[in-house]
Amino acid sequence: MSPQRRVIIVLLSVGGGSVLSYFLYKMRRGGGELTTQDTHSLITNIVFSVGIILGVGFMFLWRKKKDL
């Protein structure tokens, strides 16, 4: 599998999970508007998930280049 395809798959999965989280927050509020705390929570979840995925991905690339 090419690295570009892996990146696309990861981005789609993070995006899909983020959309599902958004709808869960909306359902919890009864379809109403999200509070600022809900919005901050969603943004934090997205940022950390992308950061963790990128960190692990770069770690694997670094190990592959070093032949560890």
- The domain locations on the chain are 3-66
Nearest residue to 54 via CA among 24, 20, 11: 11
Nearby residues of 42 by Cβ (< 8 Å), 6 or more positions away: 18, 21, 22, 25, 34
Instruction: Output the pLDDT for position 40.
Output: 94
| In the block, residue with structure tokens 């999970």 | 17
Instruction: Output the pLDDT for position 67.
Output: 66
Both tokens of residue 13?
Answer: 């999965």
Question: For every one of its 68 residues, what pLDDT tens digit does the chain have, with 9 covering 90 and above?
Answer: 777 787 788 888 888 988 998 899 889 888 888 899 989 999 998 888 888 888 887 888 787 777 65
Our CA dihedral for 60, 54, 18, 3, rounded to 10 degrees, sits at -60
Instruction: Output the pLDDT for position 15.
Output: 86
